[in-house]
Structure 1
Amino acid sequence: MDAAAPAPRAPARRRRRAARFARLAAAAACVPLALAGLAVAAVEIASRLVELPPDLDRPAGSLRLLDRKGRLLREVRSGRETRARPVPLDALSPHVVPAILAAEDRRFREHGGVDVLAVGRAVVQNALSGEVVSGASTITMQLARLLRGGDRTLANKFLEAALARKLERTFDKRRILEEYLNRAPYGNQIEGIEAAAWGYFRKSARDLSLGEAAALAALPRSPELYDPYRRRENLLARRDRILDRMLRFGWIDEAGRRRAQAERLRIHPPLRRFEAPHFVEAILAGHRDLAGDVRTTLDLDLQRRVETIVERVVASLRDRGGRDAAVVVLDNATGDVLAYVGSADFFDPDAGQVDGARALRQPGSALKPLTYALAFESGFTPASVLPDVPSSFLTAAGDRYEPRNYDGRFHGPVRAREALANSFNVPAIWLAERLTPQRVLETYRAFGLTMLDRPADHYGVAITLGDGEVTLLALTNAYAALARGGVLFPVRMLAGDPPPPGDPPRVVRPATAWLVTDVLADRRARLAAFGEGNVLELPFRAAAKTGTSKSYRDNWTVGYTREVTVGVWVGNFSGEPMGNVSGITGAGPLFREVLLAAMEGRKAEPWPRPAGLVEVRVCPLSGLPAGPDCPHAVAEWLPEAAARAPAETCTWHRRLPIDRRNGRLAGLDCPEEWVERPLFEVFPPEFAAWAADAGRAAPPTGDSPLCPLRPDDGEAEGDGVPGAARPVTLAWPEDGSRFSLDPDVPPEFQTIAITARVRDATPVTRATFLVDGRPIGESAAPFRATWRLEPGRHELAVRLPGGATDRVTVEVR
């Protein structure tokens, strides 16, 4: 019995151990509560100190550039490198909010931003492990994390909780939920419920089904784990668990759950659309603050057609060394860009991303219409005769420049209509010299070619042949100004851009723009250079001009109808020359196809003729009103003032008395039976050498010894000895010319060159130029003087030492 005595103490010891364990367990149970209480208190204090993030007022949405009909061109990511489309809570499907609450925070409407019990649990688990292994994030805390950023550390968790409390005190639950849904990550660089709905299902979040809403609600917790493209099974499993929770919470019924879980999700491939790449890049370069859906002026249907045309035409030019091209199409009524192709292939690794529409290139003869516009503003008309003869001009560097035409020939006296339509170089240079390079340059800049920013003496007279660099976009817009009657609009790429304040600038008078347009659209006038059936002949009336830079490096064709203007450039971005490819053979075919595409569905309306223009019958050789001896006449449009100004009829076609016995000029005393009066072309002296080289029959210069001329026979013929020219003639400006002062140009630059022709001039012959009787200069050959324009009517005169004089009257306004 004594050996068994200690046995009754065992139950007591066990009870004591059990009591100690119970006390330890109770103490341990208090630890989470104490830690949670401390955490909540610390969070509450910190929430009074944190500040709301500045970008909370406006979620950063991605930019979606649309065409003029609302079709997507390109989606540009937000500042967080995601595609985002903020949407109000009221614009969501009724299934979205229940699904996201079931997935992330079913007590969202009950807590104050921090779930205390969950925080306590997380604190204990994370403290024991030394890292974050358990979360207690509410939707408000997740929003705080999205706003703050940062890693998943205990410190950041604490600050997120503090910011969550701040958010709850500042905003109501609807605002917090809306902010979260617009910022939550949905994978594949998609941010927000609306962008996710469009990205994965190609529909608005307003139209999501229950199954789709539950599937999207699965993504924010771990977009990579539930990726719709790479983890589809994981996504479907989590979707079904969310639907089960919604049923358990009473937010859907059993039938709804079964239908949603049986729903087949149609996940669309990622959006990779990048339409009109150079056009989009041009917008982004000029507008840094765009966001949301932005409608542009582009016509996507036309854009795609133009891209196809460019690709095909460039492929046909590769064997001749042409690899690149650019096209711009403008709406003349608004200045809207309808199509914009910067290169033949944007993704070409060599130069595809060079934007040919904005690159500086030499335009060749494509600038000539603007030179002729200035000439028509300055008193010239389409009937004015210009010299296309071997000529020498002084360059800006002081060298002599002898221009040649594309066909290598000189065409003698040509009317301005023919000279422009056939793109003859010598007449254009002659005009630039008389108008002065400074005025030509100012005109180009007034048409929007402000990239010509060097002084006029840098370019010299060759500026009219494109001896400067412009962009295709700016040159196309300059032509559009002609198409709309001389008014320059800004190029518009965004449909919402308002027009600039005030009236758009008028560059030239409506009559001037109409005359240039009439010449550029004159099929017959350009036959000499381009022949029948050329690519500029279209089934509707269109004005067009080609251009080719030195060594065939650049081809241009720019033209317009009343409705649209098309500009085309063809060449190599590297500057490498092409093989004998001109504007008519390179850019011309591309221009034709693009203009036909742009005019499809449109009616080509005629340009309304402005008041103040009258039709006159003129001699095609002299440009003067046709006389009785002219073999034929052509119709020409002239300003009313020029048409009504007193002008002699054509003196270039004359029937001269010839003694048939010897073929010499017959005097008045010659018996009539020995006199015949054949028709001769009597050219002014500056065309005499050309006429001889061209084999044109010249009238005899000597009189018949059988019946010689008397001293007064010349008076009977009207201008001296028959067939001879006046001793001196004021060649330009013409009588009755009108000039307009430009208030934006300094007075010292508003000058004209007065030129004269002198018969039988020698190297020592000098002519004196006078304005209103006041000498302004003296000159040897080539006889010219510069005069600064002054308002009013003026008499311009040229006088030789012997007294021979010629005069004209001009008006400056």
Structure 2
Amino acid sequence: MCLYAITIFLSLDAGLPLSLPEARKSFAVTVVADDGSPLRSFPDAGGVWRYPVTPDQVSPLYIDALLNYEDHHFWRHPGINPLSMIRAFIQFLQAGRPLSGGSTITMQVARILHPHPRNIPGKLMQMFRALQLEHHFSKTEILTFYLNYAPFGGPVEGVQAASFAYLGKPAKELSHAEAALLAVLPQAPTRFRPDRHPRRATRARNKVLDRMAKFDIWDRKTVADAKIETVMPRFDPRPMMAPLLARRLKNRARPDGPVRTFIDPFLQITVADLIRGFTASTPDHTSAAALVVENSTLAVRAYVGSADFLDNSRFGHVDMVQALRSPGSTLKPFLYGIAMEEGLIHSESLMVDAPFSFSGYRPDNFTRHFTGPVGAAEALQRSLNLPAVDLLDRVGPKYFDTRLRQGGLKLRYPTHQGPNLTMILGGVGASLEELVSAYTALARNGLAGKLRLTKDQPIRERYMLSPGAACIIRQILQENRRPDLPAGRLSLDRSRQVAWKTGTSYGFRDAWTIGVTDRYTVGIWVGRPDGAPSPGQYGRATAAPLLFHIVDSLPRQYGPSPPVPDSVDRAEICWPLGTRPTGNDDPLCHKRRRAWTLNHVIPPTLPDRADRHWQPNPLTVWVNPETGLRVEPDCPVPDPHKKIIARWPRAAEPWLSPRLRRKSRIPRLDPVCGRPVSDSADTIRIMGVAPDTVFRPPGASTRLPTLTLEAQGGRGELYWLLNGDLIARSPVGSTRLYPFTRTGHYHLTVMDLAGNYDSVEFVVIGGGRPGERMTLPIPVNLRPPKFGLRA
């Protein structure tokens, strides 16, 4: 008889195979954070929210509540519990209606996989399917089916989806009360839904808790405490913690589970809130993006692709982490680092921030202000354009592009263009993700790496800079004072010390700031996704404050400073030569600086571009001891003296003090040599303004005067600087007018692109009533600006 029953069962099993769901299509695609909490989910084809889960990923409290309430003998019965079935049948006969189900967990799974009518033939088919399940699957596999497919109300199926939707937490973290609630919910998913019927759900939950106390599964004090918990009317099956990242990773989903990222939920929410709060006060259509990357692992810990995903007015659906935009000045640190590796500069190499033409390319500074002589470190900190273009021209655009590509940063150029001098000022395309990836090299001994979005991505890294160059560049950027802090030596712990660099693209279209701490690299972009200009939005004023807020919110990590590589050293150097002083009284050492050097190499100051004769520096000349003028070897002068001159770049001379100009100037040729000395185009004279002139309005007028800018001599285009600010350009021989807007002391300089210049100082005062005493303001830049200081 038994053999006959087995034969019939196997025949039916072969003819009526189980219909199992396809794993890949039956689950919602879920992208989860580092702790397993969902960042965003996408329902399956039927609109059902169902997240894959295994028994070990569910709280043991839930497993206890489920099995002791629904199926106390689950681990022992063959799929059908005869005693329960007989009890349920007797109760049905006595009451005329069902009082208890009698269905096992296995039978409930059978009904989920193969729905049947609620009649006797349907019940028999359910029992057969339960036996089939027990025949083909283990108890753990059957329990897993239930955990994933049990109905929990509306479009929610499975305990993990229910836990997130009704409780806002993963099923691994359930309390006793929450476990009891989810255990009873599948009995009547619609009637017990906590978001719609919280009181009814509470009564059903308490029934489970009482049963757990009755069977001594949980002690009575625990059950009493659990009953105190309130059932909250919550329903949120669609988390949107990192919507753009999740959308990007959706297609990486696998049948065996969700897409697992490194996102820190607390940090993600913090960064998103900071960006949302910041953009709330910005003009319409402004968006922002941010990345926070853990340096040691290259793991992305926070990913905010737009200001607000649900705000269409700010293009919230556009992921600006991946968008190609002009990087502005954010490439400059790598240029300076590569130049150090090539032995061209050290951190205090003398550079010149002055008007110059590079084969027809004539860049300006962002502020339209020129500083004159400046160290490489300060030029990088202040993001001065002229020194950077000068340095790129010496390194070579193609070589610079090749080095960046070797480090993993692939720049995009406009159609039919390749590497050129505009690339260092933003004339290329790059994404926030790529820039942050490159900047991680500053905290990883020069190794840049591909950012890791998911846990199955391996670490891939390339050398962007040598360890020594990366260390020096980071030190330079870290010494740049945070503008959000008060001036002075405010001590910050290591976790808040940040090496930061800003960037602004042409037309105020993109504002960037990227910062590097010991533990994290943080990148910020602010602008309009449609590429329209955002006047007044630039890196230092817009993106930098947001960066500092994020840095200050990062988890603290205390520890020693990273070690300085053996290739990095400190040395005293001299301006203008850029080399070590020969002693305390070195006559060629006009200014002393303390520099970071690489590989113990101290390169001299770069050759002067304005020197068409490429004279050596220092320069040795012979002078007539009686006149102090220069003589040639064949001049009939007895006992000429040798004089060694340390020369400053010609373009820096307008910013030098009179003393330094005299020390650097080559004496004129002595007439005794019998050679003509004539003025040429290498001489410029400001016309119409004598030194110490006082300008005032004519008569009783109160309108400030207008200055006529006119010069004689020079080559090519002339640049007019007033207290260091560029106020006009004019061809040689033409004039310009400049109306004054305030009184004060002024220093006017005219320069050509060959480094020739002339300067004059004057005073502008306002009009007044006859007999009224005039009071001038405190002199502003009466003398040429000192080294590296803005006028």
**TM superposition score category, shorter chain reference:** 0.5 to 0.7
1:99 is paired with a residue whose SS is helix
| CA spacing shift, 1:604–1:653, aligned 2, 3 Å | farther
| CA spacing shift, 1:148–1:264, aligned 2, 3 Å | same
- Partner Cα distance (2:565, 2:228) in 1: 67
| CA spacing shift, 1:443–1:103, aligned 2, 3 Å | same
Deviation at 1:688, TM superposition (A): 8.5
Match of 1:546 in 2: 502
| CA spacing shift, 1:669–1:588, aligned 2, 3 Å | farther
1:467 is paired with a residue whose SS is coil
Deviation at 1:94, TM superposition (A): 3.9
8 Å CA contact 2:445–2:467 kept in 1: the answer is yes
* Partner of residue 508 from structure 1, selected from 460, 465, 473: 465
Match of 1:630 in 2: 589
8 Å CA contact 1:619–1:633 kept in 2: the answer is yes
8 Å CA contact 1:624–1:650 kept in 2: the answer is no
8 Å CA contact 1:437–1:457 kept in 2: the answer is no
| CA spacing shift, 1:195–1:621, aligned 2, 3 Å | same
8 Å CA contact 2:181–2:204 kept in 1: the answer is yes
- Partner Cα distance (1:196, 1:701) in 2: 89
Match of 2:381 in 1: 421
**Residue 562 in 1 paired to residue 518 in 2?**
yes
**Residue 179 in 1 paired to residue 145 in 2?**
yes
Deviations 1:516-567 (A, max 9, x none): 223333449x9xxx99968999846542221110101111111223332222
Deviation at 1:331, TM superposition (A): 2.3
* Partner of residue 343 from structure 1, selected from 272, 295, 306: 306
Match of 1:596 in 2: 552
Q: What are the within-5 Å matches in structure 2 for residues 241-256 of structure 1?
A: none
- Partner Cα distance (1:666, 1:531) in 2: 57
Q: What are the within-5 Å matches in structure 2 for residues 403-442 of structure 1?
A: 403-411=363-371, 415-442=375-402
1:633 is paired with a residue whose SS is strand
* Partner of residue 481 from structure 1, selected from 435, 438, 441: 441
8 Å CA contact 1:488–1:506 kept in 2: the answer is yes
Q: Give, as a single letter, the amino acid of the residue that structure 2 aligns with 1:475.
A: L
Deviation at 1:51, TM superposition (A): 2.9
| Greater alpha carbon shift after TM alignment, 54-63 vs 289-298 | 54-63
Match of 2:242 in 1: 277
Q: What are the within-5 Å matches in structure 2 for residues 137-286 of structure 1?
A: 140=106, 142-148=108-114, 163-171=129-137, 176=142, 179-193=145-159, 196=162, 200=166, 216=182, 219-231=185-197, 266-270=230-234, 272=236, 274=239, 276-278=241-243, 280-281=245-246, 284-285=249-250
Deviation at 1:440, TM superposition (A): 1.8
Match of 1:15 in 2: none
Q: What are the within-5 Å matches in structure 2 for residues 577-616 of structure 1?
A: 577-598=533-554, 601-603=556-558, 605-616=560-571
Q: What are the within-5 Å matches in structure 2 for residues 103-114 of structure 1?
A: 110=80
| CA spacing shift, 1:194–1:484, aligned 2, 3 Å | closer
**Residue 298 in 1 paired to residue 263 in 2?**
yes
| Greater alpha carbon shift after TM alignment, 547-556 vs 308-317 | 308-317
* Partner of residue 74 from structure 1, selected from 39, 44, 49: 39
Match of 1:379 in 2: 343
- Partner Cα distance (2:566, 2:82) in 1: 78
Deviations 1:308-356 (A, max 9, x none): 43344434544xx783222222222222323333233333232223232
- Partner Cα distance (2:600, 2:172) in 1: 69
Greater share of residues in helix:
1
2:590 is paired with a residue whose SS is coil
**Residue 519 in 1 paired to residue 479 in 2?**
no
- Partner Cα distance (1:328, 1:174) in 2: 41
| CA spacing shift, 1:48–1:356, aligned 2, 3 Å | same
| CA spacing shift, 1:476–1:240, aligned 2, 3 Å | closer
- Partner Cα distance (1:270, 1:94) in 2: 24
Match of 2:572 in 1: 617
Match of 1:461 in 2: 421
- Partner Cα distance (1:53, 1:464) in 2: 62
8 Å CA contact 2:279–2:288 kept in 1: the answer is yes
| CA spacing shift, 1:245–1:554, aligned 2, 3 Å | closer
1:517 is paired with a residue whose SS is helix
- Partner Cα distance (1:601, 1:426) in 2: 38
**Residue 51 in 1 paired to residue 17 in 2?**
yes
2:447 is paired with a residue whose SS is coil
Deviation at 1:362, TM superposition (A): 0.9
Deviation at 1:49, TM superposition (A): 1.6
Match of 2:530 in 1: 574
8 Å CA contact 1:98–1:246 kept in 2: the answer is yes
| CA spacing shift, 1:618–1:170, aligned 2, 3 Å | closer
Note the residue ranges of structure 1 that are not aligned, 5 or more in a row. Answer: 1-39, 123-134, 395-399, 711-720, 722-760, 762-781, 783-813
8 Å CA contact 1:187–1:223 kept in 2: the answer is yes
**Residue 323 in 1 paired to residue 289 in 2?**
no
* Partner of residue 330 from structure 2, selected from 349, 362, 366: 366
**Residue 356 in 1 paired to residue 356 in 2?**
no
Q: Which has the larger radius of gyration?
A: 1
| CA spacing shift, 1:453–1:704, aligned 2, 3 Å | closer
Q: What are the within-5 Å matches in structure 2 for residues 568-717 of structure 1?
A: 568-598=524-554, 601-603=556-558, 605-626=560-581, 627-640=586-599, 642-643=601-602, 651=617, 657=623, 664-665=629-630, 682-683=647-648, 699=665, 702-705=668-671, 708=673
Q: Give, as a single letter, the amino acid of the residue that structure 2 aligns with 1:569.
A: W
**TM-score, length-normalised on structure 2?**
0.64
Deviations 1:441-487 (A, max 9, x none): 22222333236377994343211222122121221121111222211
Q: Give, as a single letter, the amino acid of the residue that structure 1 aligns with 2:234.
A: P
- Partner Cα distance (1:213, 1:689) in 2: 79
1:179 is paired with a residue whose SS is helix
- Partner Cα distance (2:211, 2:564) in 1: 77
- Partner Cα distance (1:613, 1:234) in 2: 71
- Partner Cα distance (1:103, 1:77) in 2: 36
Match of 1:9 in 2: none
2:521 is paired with a residue whose SS is strand
**Residue 99 in 1 paired to residue 69 in 2?**
yes
